[in-house]
Structure 1
Amino acid sequence: MLRFFFFNLLGNIIPMPIALICVPVISRLAGVDRLGALGIVWALVGYFSFLDFGLSRVVTRRVAHAIEKDRLQDELSELRGFFLWWAIPLMLVIALVLLIAGSWLSHIWSEGPIAMEIESAWVWIAWCVPVTLATNWFRGMLEGMQQFGRLNVLRVIFGSWNYAAPAIIVFWQPNLEAMIIAIVLGRFLALIAHVFACLQVDRQIVFGAAPRKIDSLGHFFREGGWMTVSNVISPLMVYFDRFLLATMLPARAIAWYVVSLELMMRTTVIPAALASVLFPKFSGANQASEGGVEAHLYERGIRIIASIMLPVCAIAVVLSYEGMKIWMGESFAINSYRIVEIIAVGIFVNSVAQLPFAWVQGTGRSHLTARLHFAELPMYMVGLYFAAINWGILGAAWMWTIRVSLDCIVLLWMGPSAVRRKIFPFVCLGGVFLLAISFLMDADLSISGKETLGILSILISCCISWFIFLPQNDRKELVKLSWSITKIFG
């Protein structure tokens, strides 16, 4: 488990320095307004990329089960048939719908030159979506076969491309159309690379009989139907704030919000890396089991995530202003550092929630997460609109944090009750601690006072993570590992 987690973590973390370098380049050469609009385009493509009707996770589950039951070739045959006869036509329909709706969607968030640039590049965005959906399908295959090494090499390359390509092209063409085309080109290359990786693992993933079974359509959507609801609504709640703000505020304000949110969202690659490793293992768990191996992995995973993310979020709160000032400039920092502080609280809670979410879906109860998201959506939309009208981007940040906190509480309740009783106090402690740091750092303190408070806050967060969150066995393993490293380097 730790080896796969390490692979996933590296695959998600390595592109982050690329993003840190490229985002200021885009801001300075193309302008903050275009950066804000590009953030909306990233969100739009990201949202529709999640719209795979839960099928990528169904593929992962089915492949993992087939390997366990020694019937992989039969399963691959059925999966090929479904992909060829049903999934590809569905993806093409999605692309056509986007093409038809392009003139309306491209003007939602902006007018003038920026809207014209997005509209001229809309055909690229529309065809990018089915390509990304197909890539997700092959990624699900590789995850089911636990090919995390190959997957994360591809994730590093194309995760970096997503930021590096527009930053490079902006030197010659500082407009949105050129940057969007550069991003979409990377999506096409990613599909080709994932197909090639599947061929290296097992040619039967791509080549072989592809039976056209009418009943396979119903079977897939019965299994993935509730995941479909979650996969449509959950990303909608993730990205809805950006789309709403785009209709209410200038692109510059959207950039302050989107860049701050995206910066913090990058840290969720840590829990996501562990959740993607544990999801296939949860697929074989008995949902009623309280003391099984899977439940132990579930608790251990949550505690490890909490122990890592609390210091990360504490550092983000402490360095919110100075960090943004160094990265994006003083003017940007003044308008965005409070967003980082607020979102950091939600990021900690949301990171913990990724394991309960994987547990519930992995144990075959995706209908519960779907119903939760279906109930959350209208309340979140109304609350977000009210908060944005009255408090702008700060109100939107608070609503995002409140929503993910409530979401985490409910998801923990759906998990094993014995684990819930142990974990819930940790979540409350971490959230309250981060809120306290944020409040104190904004108090009228001297520079030396803030520096002292910041150092103490980070040290305290590390102590909480080590002595309270992290399991004792893992502390012992880390101590042994540190001694081994010390001996190696003398």
Structure 2
Amino acid sequence: MKFNQLKGGAALSYVIIFLTNIVGLVLTPFIIRSLGSAEYGLYTMIGALVGYMSVLDFGLNNTIVRFVAKYKAEGDKKGEENFLAHSFIMYFCISILVTVLGLILYYNLESLYSETLTADQFDKAKVMMLLLIFNLAVSLPGGAFGGICYGYEEFILPKITNIVRYVVRSILVVVILLYGADSVGLIILDTIMNLLVIAVNIYIAFKVLKVKIKLHKFDKTLFTSILGFSLWLFVFAIVHQLRWQFGQLIIGLYYSTSIVAIYAVGITLGNYYGAFSSAIESVFLPRAIQMTVKNIPKKELTATFIKISRIILIILLYILGAFVIVGKDFVYFWVGEEYYMAYYYAVIIMVGLTPILSQGFANNILEAKNLLAYRGKLLLGLTLMGTLIGIVVVQKMGVFEMIVTTVIFMLIERGIMFFYYIKKANLDMLRYYKEIFPLFINCFLIIIVGLVCNNYLPHKSIFILLLSAAIYSVLYLIGSVAIMTKYEKSLLKLVAVKTPFLRKFF
């Protein structure tokens, strides 16, 4: 049963990633055209404003997964009940804090955005703020029930619920927008869908898993343990919000909501890019833990790191190269000509994310060794510096320069972590860069060829876009195969044999 849950949960995770990316790509331009650039920018800006408070979860959801799994493995039902009671006391306090902070923002909206929002936009922004504050205040503690399910290794039912929610929500978004709904209508829909998902997870926790929540005794030490485990998860959540969501809030202070919308599209493309690696990276945390416990030699540990990183890079660099070559036309057909700057935003974001995403296994090793504190402090410090400088840059120069500033600080973090991985993660980073370098050269050369050829081809043509993408794919495949390891070629052959179109070549 446990194996089926793990296997089924993993498979459903890939389904969710696929749905999120494919449906998002289809739905985003429809939402933009239905709302208009100005209202879509308002919708993303207010969403980011309230969403920024979601970090007040303090990483409790993931903490619940770990602690519930621990108590379940120990057979300590009383300890589990007491832990959950403490968690929900904390969630109750967090919900009150979210409501208070949200109302403070609500009553200061006009002073914050008096230079950029119209009277009609203020009216909609206020309604959206109240709905989102309610949504967040309920969703934070409500999300704990999903964490309880995962702690019990009940993956299939919650993930099926999320898939159904996503599909139904996507259909209803199209329906209500066709009938003239606006951004407020979208938030009402999301609130209803969130409440339904929470209700289903509550049913699974109480009725299927027979979970009980009971305060047997108040334990300050347990409170400290919960907060201590959650601290660095909280820091990483803050870093994510500062890097990407905070930009929408700052841009909204100095530019129109239409500019915010263009930035939001660039961020969306960057998030899609990151999703391709997360499916691979998440699978390898147990491997990192096992190798750390067994004290695997440096040479073998580095070899595993390189093997995983190269697989991720082959995928990421293919996507990056394709987007650099055909991305302008893709953005044109996807969301419209007025969003052309989103192409440049997305390219810079993808460049900054590539070294981070491809080195995820190194971070898994740090997590396995309980060494996340250093990277957490480093990330928070550099991100705060980048954010403060970005605020000045966006005022004096523009949005593109603000994103470049963010990416520079991301790359500085990678440079510093180079030495930390050597010292603490026991990795041979010089060997690592030597073995991944050919992948970058292959991608770079093909991009140069593609961009040169683009100068002689007509643009804003779907046929040319598809033809260019196909030619690039063939060239990238040929170049990659020439520098692939035996292991990578075996994986490619396995994929090809299961693909009818490619089967005849293998």
Q: TM-score, normalised by structure 1?
A: 0.83
Partner residue of 1:43 out of 25, 28, 48: 48
SS at match of 2:405: helix
Cross-structure match for 1:18: 23
Distance, in Å, in 2 between the alignment partners of 1:4 and 1:410 is 36
Cα distance change of structure 1 residues 432 and 303 upon mapping to structure 2, 3 Å threshold: closer
Cα distance change of structure 1 residues 23 and 142 upon mapping to structure 2, 3 Å threshold: same
Contact 1:78–1:211 (Cα < 8 Å) also in 2: yes
Partner residue of 1:84 out of 63, 85, 88: 88
Cross-structure match for 2:210: 203
Cross-structure match for 1:341: 347
Deviation at 1:285, TM superposition (A): 6.3
Whether 1:62 and 2:71 are equivalent positions in the alignment is no
Instruction: Specify the code of the residue in structure 2 equivalent to 1:139.
Output: G
Contact 2:64–2:147 (Cα < 8 Å) also in 1: yes
Which runs of no fewer than 5 residues in structure 2 stay unpaired? Answer: 1-5
| Percent of paired sites with the same residue | 14
Whether 1:101 and 2:111 are equivalent positions in the alignment is no
Cross-structure match for 1:476: 490
Distance, in Å, in 2 between the alignment partners of 1:106 and 1:155 is 36
For residues 424-439 of structure 1, the aligned pairs below 5 Å read 424-425=433-434
Cα distance change of structure 1 residues 448 and 325 upon mapping to structure 2, 3 Å threshold: closer
Contact 1:59–1:140 (Cα < 8 Å) also in 2: yes
Deviation at 1:246, TM superposition (A): 1.4
Distance, in Å, in 1 between the alignment partners of 2:319 and 2:108 is 40
Cα distance change of structure 1 residues 33 and 3 upon mapping to structure 2, 3 Å threshold: same
For residues 53-452 of structure 1, the aligned pairs below 5 Å read 53-66=58-71, 70-71=74-75, 73=77, 76-105=80-109, 108-109=112-113, 110-112=116-118, 113-160=120-167, 165-199=172-206, 202-204=209-211, 206-207=212-213, 211-279=217-285, 282=288, 286=292, 289-291=295-297, 299-332=306-339, 334-411=340-417, 413-415=419-421, 416-418=425-427, 420-425=429-434, 445-447=455-457
Distance, in Å, in 2 between the alignment partners of 1:236 and 1:319 is 30
Cα distance change of structure 1 residues 137 and 454 upon mapping to structure 2, 3 Å threshold: same
Distance, in Å, in 2 between the alignment partners of 1:147 and 1:117 is 40
Report the count of equivalent residues.
486
Distance, in Å, in 2 between the alignment partners of 1:210 and 1:164 is 45
Cα distance change of structure 1 residues 301 and 377 upon mapping to structure 2, 3 Å threshold: same
Contact 1:356–1:412 (Cα < 8 Å) also in 2: no
Distance, in Å, in 1 between the alignment partners of 2:80 and 2:246 is 36
Deviation at 1:255, TM superposition (A): 1.2
Deviation at 1:250, TM superposition (A): 1.3
Distance, in Å, in 1 between the alignment partners of 2:9 and 2:396 is 45
Distance, in Å, in 2 between the alignment partners of 1:3 and 1:299 is 28
Contact 1:36–1:258 (Cα < 8 Å) also in 2: yes
Contact 1:298–1:359 (Cα < 8 Å) also in 2: no
Cross-structure match for 1:28: 33
Deviation at 1:38, TM superposition (A): 1.5
Instruction: Specify the code of the residue in structure 2 equivalent to 1:340.
Output: A
Contact 1:245–1:254 (Cα < 8 Å) also in 2: yes
Contact 2:386–2:405 (Cα < 8 Å) also in 1: yes
Distance, in Å, in 1 between the alignment partners of 2:9 and 2:304 is 14
Instruction: Specify the code of the residue in structure 1 equivalent to 2:398.
Output: G
Instruction: Specify the code of the residue in structure 1 equivalent to 2:271.
Output: M
Larger Rg: 2
Instruction: Specify the code of the residue in structure 2 equivalent to 1:223.
Output: F
Distance, in Å, in 2 between the alignment partners of 1:250 and 1:154 is 38
Which runs of no fewer than 5 residues in structure 1 stay unpaired? Answer: none
285-294 or 413-422: bigger deviation: 285-294
Cross-structure match for 2:3: none
Distance, in Å, in 1 between the alignment partners of 2:482 and 2:236 is 36
SS at match of 2:57: coil
Contact 1:22–1:164 (Cα < 8 Å) also in 2: no
Instruction: Specify the code of the residue in structure 2 equivalent to 1:483.
Output: V
1:179-201 Cα deviation digits (max 9, x unpaired): 22222222222222333344476
Q: TM-score, normalised by structure 2?
A: 0.81
Cα distance change of structure 1 residues 448 and 331 upon mapping to structure 2, 3 Å threshold: closer
